[in-house]
């Protein structure tokens, strides 16, 4: 069945139903790509670029569109290579590759629908009967009694693990993050001691320093090492993004300096960029994103690369519902997946699009069983969440301040 059209849909809706995360972020944008056939099913994919710079996505999709018109989904890797090579001067890493990810995901969704198989089956089959999930919790909402309520909220939703950010946030005080190694180590170890005591010894706890996309000061290797060592007694599942992604050498040094597992990679695109980090053993746990890394095929390549280095992966998934399901399918297809990131208590741009395809039982995700990715994008959904220009997220700087 031949492809007749490729189109982009931009949407804006509530960021989350999570009352704690909603303190810091109220709206989210999303970009979906649809691959159409003559009278047949429509393939749907998402690019995580839609969360940051949605206005840029449609033009890039139109650039690649002629490569797909009249083609079939019999050989998706070849179609991906044609698009990737066509954008060689600007698409080896970065935005072009990120948008290409959403197009390629739509091709896999279409192929799964045509064959009546879930995408993870097309990627080599599910390697896990179930996978642990954690609630990605955004900031550490303070004071501590509020942080405890936040943790209890996620546990009440069925999660056995959760992740919060370094520093803390309150609507009254704004963001706080310690600026010296000693202060950061003291603050974060005090917080994790409280969290471990409140959650119990069996809960999966993670912390995200957000240094790959920091709104303020970026930690040095000295600060990151001091914090990582201070967190060693609390049995973290992983410590995410303690350094900026321009420093694979620092990441490598940090991994050797602490027993706390160091995770990262959500900001990396394509195998070319990932190899720079993987070959230096910069991460104990890699975090590819199947709506950002470059495609579902690239995700699997990255997972295999990390496996060759004796490393695990943990999916990153903070796009909307398409991003979530793309990562779940890839997570099940990759043999070295350790855990899945799940946006908890999600709102319509997740719930309406996932449409019940994500199933979690006793804190573990089950393999999706619907054909394709199991996502929907109806006309009603498009009407319900009209796009609001400027609703993408970015780091505030003078002259461009994030409002929502």
The 10s digit of each residue's pLDDT in 122-138 is 999 999 999 999 999 89
What domains are there in the chain, each with its CATH number? Answer: 3-116+378-384 (3.30.390.10), 121-365 (3.20.20.120)
Average pLDDT over the chain reads: 96
Give the C-alpha separation, 198 to 138, whole Å.
Answer: 18
Which residue in this structure is represented by tokens 């619907």?
Answer: 370
pTM: 0.97
Could you tell me which residues come within 8 angstroms of residue 59 by beta carbon, excluding any fewer than 6 positions away?
none
Within 13 Å of residue 244, how many CA atoms lie on the same side as its CB?
9
Asked whether residue 404 carries a pLDDT value surpassing 90, the answer given is no
Closest CA to 270 of 251, 297, 244: 297
DSSP letter at 167 equals S
The residue-averaged pLDDT of 197-202 equals: 98
pLDDT at 303: 98
**CB of 198 closer than 8 Å to CB of 148:** yes
Give the C-alpha separation, 188 to 179, whole Å.
Answer: 12
pLDDT at 89: 94
pLDDT at 263: 98
Helix (H) or strand (E) holding 285: strand 285-286
- The tens digit of pLDDT for each residue in 332-356 reads 999 999 999 999 999 999 999 999 9
pLDDT at 217: 80
**CB burial class (10 A; 0-12, 13-18, 19+) of residue 176?**
middle
Asked whether residue 179 carries a pLDDT value surpassing 90, the answer given is no
Closest CA to 209 of 196, 219, 194, 220: 219
Burial 306-324 (b: 16+ CB within 10 A, else e): bbeeebbbbbbbbbbbbbb
Give the C-alpha separation, 112 to 43, whole Å.
Answer: 9
């Amino acid at each position: 069945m031949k492809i007749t059209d490729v189109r982009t849909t931009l949407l804006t809706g509530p960021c989350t139903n999570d009352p704690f995360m909603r303190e810091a972020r109220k709206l989210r944008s999303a970009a979906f790509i649809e691959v159409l056939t003559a009278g047949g099913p429509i393939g749907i994919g998402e690019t995580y670029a839609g969360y940051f710079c949605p206005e840029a996505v449609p033009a890039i999709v139109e650039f690649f569109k002629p490569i797909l018109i009249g083609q079939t989904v019999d050989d998706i890797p070849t179609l991906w290579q044609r698009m990737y090579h066509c954008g060689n001067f600007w698409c080896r890493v970065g935005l072009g590759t990120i948008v290409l990810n959403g197009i390629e995901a739509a091709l896999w969704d279409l192929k799964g629908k045509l064959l009546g198989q879930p995408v993870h089956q097309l990627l080599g089959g599910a390697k896990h009967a179930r996978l642990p999930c954690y609630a990605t919790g955004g900031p550490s909402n303070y004071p501590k009694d509020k942080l405890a309520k936040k943790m209890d909220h996620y546990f009440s939703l069925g999660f056995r693990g959760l992740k919060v950010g370094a520093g803390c946030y309150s609507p009254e005080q704004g963001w706080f993050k310690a600026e010296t190694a000693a202060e950061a180590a003291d603050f974060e170890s005090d917080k994790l001691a409280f969290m471990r005591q409140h959650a119990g010894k069996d809960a999966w706890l993670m912390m995200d320093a957000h240094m790959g996309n920091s709104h303020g000061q970026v930690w040095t290797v000295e600060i990151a090492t001091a914090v990582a060592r201070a967190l060693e007694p609390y049995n973290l599942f992983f410590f995410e993004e303690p350094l900026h992604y321009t420093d694979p050498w620092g990441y490598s040094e940090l991994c050797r300096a602490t027993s706390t597992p160091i995770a990262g990679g959500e900001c990396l695109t394509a195998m070319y960029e990932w190899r720079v980090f993987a070959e230096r053993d910069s991460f104990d746990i890699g975090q590819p994103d199947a709506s950002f890394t470059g495609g579902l095929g690239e995700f699997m390549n990255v997972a295999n690369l990390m496996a060759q280095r004796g490393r695990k992966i943990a999916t990153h998934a903070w796009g909307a519902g398409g991003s979530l399901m793309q990562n779940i399918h890839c997570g099940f297809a990759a043999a070295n997946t350790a855990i899945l990131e799940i946006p908890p208590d999600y709102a319509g741009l997740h719930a309406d699009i996932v449409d019940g395809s994500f199933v979690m039982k006793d804190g573990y995700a089950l393999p999706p069983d619907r054909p394709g990715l199991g996502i929907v994008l109806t006309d009603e959904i498009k009407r319900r969440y009209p796009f609001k220009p400027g609703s993408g997220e970015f780091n505030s700087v003078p002259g461009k301040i994030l409002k929502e």
